[in-house]
Structure 1
Amino acid sequence: MDVAKQPYAVKWLILGALIGLAAGTSALTFYLMLRLTTYVFLNLLVGYEQPEPVGLGGSLMYVPRIERPWLIPVSTVIGAVIVAYLAGKFRESRAGLDAVIEAYHGRRRPFSNPVLHGLVNVVLSAITIGSGGSAGPEAPTGNFGGGLSYFIAERLGLNDEDRALAMIVGMGAALGAIFKAPIGGALLAAELPYRRDLEVRALYPALVASLVAYVIFCLVTGFKPYLGQVAMGAPILSMPFYVALGFVDGAVAIIYIESLDHARRLFGRLGVNDAARTAIGGLVVGLIGLVTPQVLGAGEGWMDLAIYARLSAFSSQVIPLITLLALLPLIKIISTSITLGSGEVGGVFAPGLVIGAFTGLDMGLLLHGLYPTLAPSVAPFVVVSSLAMFGAASNAPLAVMVMLLEMTNNYQVLPEAVIASAIAYLMTTWRFTVFKAQRINRRHSRHG
């Protein structure tokens, strides 16, 4: 059967299922690779067990314990050196999600060899994050899913338009799988290419692919929501708090974006080779991790602990608790910027969610102290802040909002989420984005 000649609905139902298989495989490949590298570097070498999201086997009873904290910088430097060496051999594989977004607008391959470089990107990112670098799982997962999907479309003889569409569908489906948020993943495929527009034709195939990928990933990891079943709500009179939270998240998003950009320029001016530059970044992040281990790795497990205000888990041998909580959003921004700016490989998505969660924890604790009846719990502040901050930073507020609500399996804070997300997004959309390959809208895309 020639898939390319089938009616639209049939063609993209078949392709969506095939892409979903590829995306689900991509998500599982990265997940298993990350577990291996985390076990080798942080568990065996450092003796540090990071918190995990509840949906991936984590526990709210988490107690931090680091047997050999002085080896944290050793772990991050070794990981950085390995990444620098491998990236020197496979230079294309350093790319983040911008590679897929740019390739989509150019209607071309994301890499010269989509399967090879997508897989190498998975390995490089797993080493970066597993050794303690502050980066996210979405870039390698999305790149591998997008690359495999492009390869499938190419083999089936599809034209350039359909290959490009298959690529962003595969990217979105892989992201939906890795975060157990299939609807949000489908929306990401449509929303991520633009700052102020949607690629509507991606929605149907992306929904099919995301659901298939989600099932494949969850058959191995379980169907529990990524952050568990979060019970939360917000009093109607607390709505002004979320207006204020939106402004705070918009400002934090801008700081995050600018910090990432400045770090890349700073490391680019060091005048040393790639290995030395990446090792320097690894050393600095490791030293930061000595003081604040909460910034090591992607850090999604800390979101659950923030949601339930498990403050005993947020400890530092140097910094008092209240100071640590206040500084964590900034320290996570700095550690992520250094990790990626120095040349290690990973995404900005998951760290962005964690930065937003830390910001929401601070706001929730402050407002609970001042107005306990209007802010009885920090949970809605953590969740809403997470989605609002990175929705603004990525210029994908709708997709990120749906993803976070899926990750918590709770839609009661949807009104608060809409308000905070809209305000934060309006603060960034005209000028700022973490994804530089985004076009303003479909008119500004080369193939409109």
Structure 2
Amino acid sequence: MLQALVRAIQLPDLRRRVLFTLGMLIVFRFIAHIPVPNINPDSLQQLRDALASNQLAQLLNIFAGGALQNFSVAAMGVYPYITATIIMQLLQPLIPALQELQKEGEQGRQRLTRYQVILTIPLAFLQAYGQTLTLERTINPTGDPFQSLFRSPFDLVNNFFPTFTILVSMVAGTMLLVWLGEQINERGIGQGISVIIFGGIVSGLPGLLVQGWQISSTGDVGTILGLIGFLVIGLLTIVGIVLIQEGQRRLPVQYAKRVRGNKVYGGQSSHIPLKVNMAGMIPLIFAQSIIIFPGIVASWFYREGEPGIGNAIAGFFYNTFNPTGVGGGFVYISLLFLLTVGFTYFYTMVLFQQQDIPDNLQRNGGFIPGIRPGKNTEIYLKRVLNRITLAGALFLGLIAVLPFITQSVTGLQLGLGSTALLIVVGVAVDTMRQLESQLIMRDYEGFLSR
């Protein structure tokens, strides 16, 4: 593998792509440290303390590559673009015009990408306002100007221009990261948006190593054993992610012979690779975002110890949809697991419908041996896909609740969660595969063949 990597770097055009990708990641890390206007530096430590107890904020901080804890212009990362992508994918089966664009090839995909970018802008404004307002109320529930995140109040009504400037700078930071991702797609290696997220997560590894060293230096036997257990669970998780991400069921396909003039076409055999986890990490993001949202909204109204039916209702939602809430931990974890499994099946079916495999086979004269083309092929493929997706769905559900299991077993809570591991391993494998395809085109051995 190392020899293949060295050989890849020796190729001028491939070396250019690798260096360009690294350059874009350096630019991203630079942007992640540019603060938004009007920020109060003295409140940043309070912000970091608040992130440690807010699950949704931690998830957003992962996608922002740690920029949220610095409240930089890239504090939202590429999450609004991911949301826009998910919305567009969900709308395609419902809107015939979008379906037609999907079938138009590269030109249609470019138009869909343009629509996603346009949709990202209003979503980014909404997320910037909601995210900032939530964090402001979290660290400054009393409205004390000396505890505020900003030097002047965050208020669109009474303090419009400074507040609007903050929102515009955050939206501009997100769109700049999306542009960097597109440049990586065109001139670099890997899927641009995923590489940006990957770079942000990896940038936090030195801090994680320092945290682990500090834990091990305490000399406490129980703590050291817990750290070893954490590392073992992490390694097993990485192995499981690779196996599930690469696992697939190959269905044989036979193409009928067709005679055109003096030439015979078709007659060859192939296969359909149905992946065990076709949905990737999207169901996990869906489930975590949805289950945490009620607790965050309830936190705006809940005041511990205050009487009143409204405060009691807010307290119920706050504790139930909070992994650390009173009596809500088991309910939260159970709902998170079930939602992840359900969204995995839902999103897999959405992707399957978009690919339109049965119709494509029939148009090209292909068929699965023993299965009639058309509707019967569709029923057969769905049945097979439902069976193999069960393993992927259960695995994603386990990944979702693994941080809580790990904390219970080891007694430790470190910064790198299973969602981050899923992203890092998935992006690394995909990038290696792209490098391998570049090497194969030049008759060199790739990574995965060793």
Q: What's the TM-score once normalised by structure 1's chain length?
A: 0.32
Q: What's the TM-score once normalised by structure 2's chain length?
A: 0.32
Higher CA-based Rg: 2
Which has the bigger relative contact order, CA under 8 A and spacing at least 6? 1
Higher normalized strand content (fraction of residues): 2
